[in-house]
Structure 1
């Protein structure tokens, strides 16, 4: 199924809710931040299909820390945390404001951990490459919540529940990573589309569990088989999904879009809860 058809099905089934939808975005290559392609177009269209958020809280694969931190500066810098790409990508600035009040509120909501208010990070490419297509005016405050690398998937899933009330306040919580993400096995021959058999098998397992709301299986992903262990050789790109699933309540629907494999060993599959 092409990504445009997926998006149209997603918008047609989007329910009305008091909660702001929660999103997991497969962000893929940093080049998606400056390219107008099927993925970035869907990101822009998603933004048009949901209420305008008051603030955005991003859980990015690229802020992996000991302990939990949240950006609390007034103007988070744009971080170019990659190498080997065209200068045009390094030239991008996304000058969205921060929201120190929301940073303090979020830190207070989280009881399972001490949350450090951070003034040194900013917006990494897991955040700005996606959000600049969604909200190009950069006029909505953006914060990042780090992923504590000392904790497992269940911890992050449960932590998300502690901040669920932010959705009622108009905060868009966005996880940014990739469900299947094994760059060591990347195939340039399939860079524009296609996946190894193991990657497609892992993707189908993930999607079936998501659509069936079988969160425990996804939390215990290491037990889902050899293909899943190939798909998730390290957890940082997978764990943002735990936050979005942790935010889903019993009555909320879940939909997929941008469901495509690229480079053999990476999927762009994205999830909306709400």
Structure 2
């Protein structure tokens, strides 16, 4: 049985480029955009986050704790960052509802996670009151883009119940190729980052979902996506979007030269 009655309005599905954990503290074009984006969206009844920073193996996992701890899953940052918390309520009943929707892979409930920085550093700007129930769903190690796209298709029904499906990662993410000291800019500092971001943007515009699921073949992919975890949340969100829904780029920027912050809304 659904944990929520049907909502009057289908919620969007969104992908957010989250970038450095320091965005949680910084006042910049990106964080000001997040604040305005949260205000412009219909208020969700709950939020399901698929973050680059939670990956499981034997099953796709859903966080089912009644209250979510704030996970500081990073090192070497200023003490002020570790002092931040995002005490949003959890959504254990909805976690069960979501797990029941998965048919393509084993699903399980977990109470040992919380909100990692892919979730809370974004949400504290979009929904600073931390008063909306939030839970996370994991990525699955070893499964390809098409499998994660299928997870999105299976979870899409949650949108009809007032749930905002939020993917958090980065379309271009190569920590070995950051250009520290480079100011935030509309254009990447390296051609391969610009090429891959442009190829993804073109595929999104055409809703060429198959090409995005096979992102490894896009121009610049080898350097732009050396590991898949920051790209896969986009594919879950893409799967949750109806074929008739256009992909709207709502923010586009590069931080540290090559870190792609493109953010996308469906619906």
TM-score bracket, shorter-length normalisation: over 0.9
SS at match of 1:48: helix
Matched, 1:273 2:231: no
1:192 to 180, 184, 195: 184
Deviating beyond 6 angstroms after TM superposition, the runs of 4 or more aligned structure 1 residues are none
Structure 1 residues 107-186: aligned runs within 5 Å = 107-186=99-178
How much does 1:223 deviate? Answer: 1.4
Any conservation in 2 of the 1:195–1:262 contact (CA below 8 Å)? no
**For the residues of structure 1 that align with 2:226 and 2:244, how far apart are their CA atoms?**
33
Residues 191-233 of structure 1: per-residue CA shift (max 9 Å, x gap) = 53342111001110010000110111111111123x1111000
How much does 1:65 deviate? Answer: 1.4
**Residue correspondences, number:** 257
Residues 111-159 of structure 1: per-residue CA shift (max 9 Å, x gap) = 1122111111100000000001111111000000000012000000011
Alpha carbons of structure 1 residues 195 and 19: separation in structure 2 relative to 1, 3 Å: farther
Q: What stretches of structure 1 of length at least 5 have no aligned partner?
A: 1-16
Q: What stretches of structure 2 of length at least 5 have no aligned partner?
A: 1-7
1:262 to 231, 246, 255: 255
Structure 1 residues 4-43: aligned runs within 5 Å = 18-43=9-34
1:75 to 63, 67, 74: 67
**For the residues of structure 2 that align with 1:201 and 1:168, how far apart are their CA atoms?**
36
Which position in structure 2 is the counterpart of 1:230?
Answer: 223
**For the residues of structure 2 that align with 1:246 and 1:216, how far apart are their CA atoms?**
11
**For the residues of structure 2 that align with 1:21 and 1:138, how far apart are their CA atoms?**
19
How much does 1:37 deviate? Answer: 1.2
Which position in structure 2 is the counterpart of 1:9?
Answer: none
Any conservation in 2 of the 1:200–1:261 contact (CA below 8 Å)? no
TM-score normalized by structure 1? 0.91
**For the residues of structure 1 that align with 2:170 and 2:203, how far apart are their CA atoms?**
16
TM-score normalized by structure 2? 0.94
**For the residues of structure 1 that align with 2:79 and 2:111, how far apart are their CA atoms?**
27
Which position in structure 1 is the counterpart of 2:88?
Answer: 96
**For the residues of structure 2 that align with 1:121 and 1:29, how far apart are their CA atoms?**
21
Any conservation in 2 of the 1:68–1:113 contact (CA below 8 Å)? yes
SS at match of 2:53: coil
Any conservation in 1 of the 2:184–2:253 contact (CA below 8 Å)? no
**For the residues of structure 2 that align with 1:250 and 1:73, how far apart are their CA atoms?**
33
Indicate the RMSD between aligned Cα atoms, in angstroms: 1.2
Which position in structure 2 is the counterpart of 1:248?
Answer: 241
Any conservation in 2 of the 1:79–1:125 contact (CA below 8 Å)? yes
